[in-house]
């Protein structure tokens, strides 16, 4: 079935109908989430009680909008904090890894590359519990040995950041390596011939070339960190990121305020996703 | 490149990756394994043994949940492949230019959105007071509200929805690289649509099929949100059991053993998938 080979009209229409149904299936859950954010009712379900923006800006109970719901605003702040650090760390380590794998030949390179890909095939829950178990036993040992407290190694934001960093770095490495492979090393050699130092050449020639990939992987890291649930669930302490707060509220029974948060999340993540694609496809 | 300076540079680049892989990946998994083979014999007293694994095999609830999770993940993977293949073929072969980019983006957008939001959408659609139940009542097809949530079919719908992109993207990539003239040649030589599909298209798309299946299976097996939120009280999922052992029951030894079993199954499937298709991990993962 390709355009140049004629097909029965009926089969063609069946195929198109299937593709249409598929895209409706894709869009349906997100559409209802968005639509019910504007329903003037305390439940995110039918009947439709009229249009309202109270779930965004409302101040009176039970219509307390997202922007006035303190627990949600605080967890958005927590998520942003975590995402910032995860993204910064993942991009920094990812850039180093890209230089290591593209520019250097060494014994055990294939093995190291395979190890670098491992976090992709470890389920997020397992990654979470393994870091939880390890950091707790390190904390126990240190506390027994020194008598001091090591709260950073107990479930909390530091562990959440480390847990997310542990697999997001792989994505950053892959994106940045792909771009570095396209770089023409003679450009850097030219800079060296013209008297630049090694570090100067990398900073002024190579890094600007890598910038689109670096920005793209930073954006993807922020997105993945914001949305991560499985690893975070196992490592979270008293400050919970947005997905955990939403999960707790969802289990208790939801009000449309969750739809309002979701709508904002959909807009922001679609925008970030498109942005990352733009940067990844940037050509020079 | 044998100078001292470049050696120093090499070690400086090697340090972060080693730190990352050893401290956050390798040591935690070794630790997890050590905890999983320790038995509690008294307060803060442990000895080595395989009791936790024995507990898994002797308690039917545990291994049945494990088997159920594996079987449902396999079904979800098969369903995703069957539903996703025609879509990938349509995008790769029957559209071009701007339409192609648009359709591709429309596939991607739902997956940039948090899994929690997607699952929440399905809850609004499927529950007793939900949209679908209301529409069916309005059309007069059912009398009174019907509950579509909290059963295995709901889990399946959610799992397929969550992972279909990871099937479609590698399939589109491999199908894109199939030259149309090969299909034309097939028709010229008297092939039917079915035989061309079987003998030209599917063999060519095999690498994409394998990497898609591996990723979808792994994601379903390790999924927590979808089975917990869409499944009923007795539709257990293995990740849920791990969570219970760790957070609710505080039985880390048994939880670690469960974690290791899940990791073992998922690694085994990845390994077998790669073995049968003769691909390496790097090519498969590089694609998705």
CATH of the domain at A190: 1.10.3720.10
Give the pLDDT score at A84.
94
Same domain, yes or no: A134 and A210:
yes
Give the pLDDT score at B79.
93
Give the pLDDT score at A59.
67
Neighbours of B125 (CB within 10 A): 22
- A140 has a pLDDT exceeding 80: yes
Residue of B nearest to A93 (CA): B16
Answer yes or no: do B121 and A22 touch at CB < 8 A: no
**Average pLDDT for residues B249-253, to the nearest whole number?**
82
Mean pLDDT over each residue of chain A, to the nearest integer: 84
Give the pLDDT score at B236.
82
**Which one is predicted more confidently, B279 or B266?**
B266
What percent of chain A stands above pLDDT 70? Answer: 89
- B183 has a pLDDT exceeding 70: yes
Q: How many whole angstroms separate alpha carbon A272 and alpha carbon A266?
A: 10
Same domain, yes or no: A152 and A13:
no
**Which one is predicted more confidently, B131 or A282?**
B131
Residue A4: pLDDT band by 50, 70, 90 thresholds? low
Give the pLDDT score at B77.
93
Are B259 and A129 spatial neighbours (Cβ–Cβ below 8 Å)?
yes
Answer yes or no: do A270 and B112 touch at CB < 8 A: yes
Q: Which of residues 156-195 of B touch A (CB under 8 A)?
A: 161, 180, 183-184, 187, 193
Answer yes or no: do A30 and B87 touch at CB < 8 A: no
Residue A164: pLDDT band by 50, 70, 90 thresholds? very high
Same domain, yes or no: A78 and A216:
yes
Q: How many whole angstroms separate alpha carbon B112 and alpha carbon A247?
A: 18
Same domain, yes or no: A57 and A85:
no
**Is residue A271 in some structural domain?**
no
**Average pLDDT for residues A77-86, to the nearest whole number?**
92
Q: Which of residues 52-71 of B touch A (CB under 8 A)?
A: none
**Is residue A163 in some structural domain?**
yes
Give the pLDDT score at A191.
84
Same domain, yes or no: A220 and A86:
yes
Same domain, yes or no: A75 and A193:
yes
Report pTM: 0.86
Same domain, yes or no: A185 and A83:
yes
- B4 has a pLDDT exceeding 80: no
Residue of B nearest to A106 (CA): B10
Nearest to B224 among A5, A165, A230 (CB): A230
Nearest to B25 among A119, A135, A223 (CB): A119
- The string of pLDDT tens digits covering residues B43-95 is 666 777 777 788 888 888 888 888 889 999 999 999 999 999 999 888 888 88
- B232 has a pLDDT exceeding 80: no
Give the pLDDT score at B139.
83
Q: Which of A14, A37, A114, A126 to mutate to test the interface with B (most CBs of B within 10 A)?
A: A126
Q: How many whole angstroms separate alpha carbon A143 and alpha carbon A161?
A: 22
- A184 has a pLDDT exceeding 60: yes
Task: Please tell me whether residue B54 adopts helix, strand or coil conformation.
Answer: helix
**Average pLDDT for residues B237-265, to the nearest whole number?**
86
Residue among A174, A281, A271, A161 at smallest CA distance from A225: A161
- The string of pLDDT tens digits covering residues A216-270 is 899 889 988 988 888 898 888 888 888 888 888 888 777 778 888 888 888 888 8
How many domains does chain A fold into? 2
- B133 has a pLDDT exceeding 70: yes
**Is residue A246 in some structural domain?**
no
ipTM of the complex: 0.84
Q: Which of A25, A34, A43, A45 to mutate to test the interface with B (most CBs of B within 10 A)?
A: A45
- A188 has a pLDDT exceeding 70: yes
A contacts of B131 (beta carbons < 8 Å): 32, 45-46
**Average pLDDT for residues B182-193, to the nearest whole number?**
80
Same domain, yes or no: A34 and A78:
no
Q: How many whole angstroms separate alpha carbon B195 and alpha carbon B84?
A: 20
Answer yes or no: do A1 and B109 touch at CB < 8 A: no
Answer yes or no: do B87 and A19 touch at CB < 8 A: yes
Give the pLDDT score at B282.
64
- A193 has a pLDDT exceeding 50: yes
Same domain, yes or no: A151 and A205:
yes
Give the pLDDT score at B280.
67
How far does chain A reach from its first CA to its final CA, in angstroms?
A: 37
Q: How many CA atoms lie within 13 A of B228 on its CB side?
A: 20
- Cα torsion through A37, A42, A46, A51, rounded to 10: -50
Task: Please tell me whether residue B47 adopts helix, strand or coil conformation.
Answer: strand
Residue A130: pLDDT band by 50, 70, 90 thresholds? very high
Q: Which of B86, B89, B112 to mutate to test the interface with A (most CBs of A within 10 A)?
A: B112
Same domain, yes or no: A81 and A92:
yes
Burial bucket for residue A81 (CB in 10 Å: 0-12, 13-18, 19+): middle
Q: Which of B85, B107, B124 to mutate to test the interface with A (most CBs of A within 10 A)?
A: B124
Answer yes or no: do B259 and A129 touch at CB < 8 A: yes
**Is residue A175 in some structural domain?**
yes
How far does chain B reach from its first CA to its final CA, in angstroms?
A: 34
Domain that holds residue A35: 1-68+254-266
Q: How far is CA B110 from CA A218, B72, B107, B171, B274, in A?
A: 20, 23, 7, 18, 28
- A284 has a pLDDT exceeding 50: no
Give the pLDDT score at A255.
75
CATH number, span B59-287 = 1.10.3720.10
- Cα torsion through B260, B266, B272, B277, rounded to 10: -150
Same domain, yes or no: A198 and A94:
yes
- A273 has a pLDDT exceeding 90: no
**Is residue A11 in some structural domain?**
yes
The domains of chain B are located at: 1-27, 59-287
Mean pLDDT over each residue of chain B, to the nearest integer: 83
**Which one is predicted more confidently, A37 or A53?**
A37
Separation in Å, CA of B49 to nearest CA in chain A: 18
**Is residue A174 in some structural domain?**
yes
Same domain, yes or no: A97 and A176:
yes
**Average pLDDT for residues A35-56, to the nearest whole number?**
72
**Is residue A155 in some structural domain?**
yes
Q: How far is CA B260 from CA A124, A134, B59, B233, B288, in A?
A: 13, 14, 17, 25, 25
In this complex, is the C-beta atom of B13 within 8 Å of any C-beta atom belonging to chain A? yes
**Is residue A276 in some structural domain?**
no
- The string of pLDDT tens digits covering residues A100-116 is 888 888 888 888 888 88
**Average pLDDT for residues A140-149, to the nearest whole number?**
83
Phi, psi of A64 (to 5 degrees): -100, 115
Residue B284: pLDDT band by 50, 70, 90 thresholds? low
B contacts of A32 (beta carbons < 8 Å): 121, 124-125, 131
* A-B contacts at Cβ under 8 angstroms: 239
- The string of pLDDT tens digits covering residues B102-132 is 888 888 888 888 888 888 888 888 887 777 8
**Average pLDDT for residues A49-67, to the nearest whole number?**
70
- Residue A81 DSSP code: H
Give the pLDDT score at A86.
93
């Amino acid at each position: 079935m390709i355009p140049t080979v004629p097909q029965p009209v009926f089969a063609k229409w069946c195929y198109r109908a299937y593709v249409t149904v598929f895209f409706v299936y894709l869009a349906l859950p997100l559409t209802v989430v968005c639509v019910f954010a504007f329903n003037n009712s305390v439940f995110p379900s039918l009947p439709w009680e009229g249009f309202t923006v109270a779930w965004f800006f409302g101040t009176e109970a039970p219509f307390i909008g997202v922007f006035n719901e303190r627990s949600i605003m605080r967890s958005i702040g927590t998520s942003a904090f975590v995402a910032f650090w995860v993204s910064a760390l993942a991009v920094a380590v990812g850039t180093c890894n890209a230089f290591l794998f593209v520019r250097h030949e060494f014994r055990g390179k294939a093995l190291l590359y395979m190890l670098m890909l491992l976090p992709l095939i470890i389920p997020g829950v397992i990654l979470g519990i393994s870091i939880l178990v390890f950091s707790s036993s390190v904390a126990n040992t240190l506390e027994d040995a020194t008598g001091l407290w090591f709260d950073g190694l107990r479930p909390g934001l530091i562990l959440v950041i480390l847990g997310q960093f542990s697999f997001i770095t792989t994505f950053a490495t892959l994106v940045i390596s792909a771009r570095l492979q396209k770089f023409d090393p003679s450009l850097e050699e030219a800079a060296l011939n013209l008297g630049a130092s090694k570090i100067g050449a990398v900073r002024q020639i190579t890094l600007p070339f890598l910038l689109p990939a670096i920005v793209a992987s930073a954006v993807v890291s922020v997105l993945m960190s914001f949305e991560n649930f499985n690893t975070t669930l196992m490592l979270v302490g008293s400050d919970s990121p947005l997905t955990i707060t939403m999960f707790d509220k969802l289990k208790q029974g939801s009000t449309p305020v969750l739809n309002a948060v979701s709508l904002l999340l959909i807009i922001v993540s679609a925008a970030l996703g498109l942005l990352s694609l733009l940067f990844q496809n940037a050509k020079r | 490149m044998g100078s001292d300076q470049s050696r120093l540079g090499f070690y400086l680049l090697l340090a972060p990756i080693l730190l990352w892989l050893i401290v956050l990946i390798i040591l935690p998994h070794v630790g997890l394994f050590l905890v999983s083979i320790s038995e509690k014999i008294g307060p803060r007293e442990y000895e080595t043994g395989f009791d936790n694994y024995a507990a898994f095999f002797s308690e039917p609830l545990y291994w049945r949940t494990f088997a159920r999770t594996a079987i449902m993940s396999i079904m979800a993977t098969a369903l995703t492949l069957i539903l996703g293949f025609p879509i990938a073929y349509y995008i790769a072969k029957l559209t071009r230019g701007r339409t192609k980019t648009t359709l591709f983006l429309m596939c991607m957008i739902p997956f940039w959105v948090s899994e929690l939001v997607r699952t929440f959408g399905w809850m609004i659609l499927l529950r007793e007071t939900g949209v679908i139940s209301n529409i069916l009542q309005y059309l007069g097809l059912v009398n009174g509200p019907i509950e579509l949530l909290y059963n295995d079919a709901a889990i399946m719908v959610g799992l397929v929805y969550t992972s279909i992109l990871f099937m479609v993207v590698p399939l589109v990539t491999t199908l894109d690289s199939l030259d149309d003239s090969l299909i034309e040649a097939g028709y010229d030589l008297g092939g039917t649509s079915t035989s061309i599909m079987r003998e030209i298209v599917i063999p060519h798309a095999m690498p994409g099929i394998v990497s898609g299946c591996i990723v979808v299976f792994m994601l379903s097996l390790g999924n927590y949100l979808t089975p917990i939120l869409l499944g009923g009280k007795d539709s257990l999922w293995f990740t849920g059991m791990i969570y219970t052992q760790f957070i609710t029951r505080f039985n880390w030894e048994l939880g670690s053993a469960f974690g290791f079993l899940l990791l073992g199954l998922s690694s085994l499937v990845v390994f077998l998938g790669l073995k049968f298709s003769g691909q390496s991990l790097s090519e498969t993962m590089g694609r998705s």
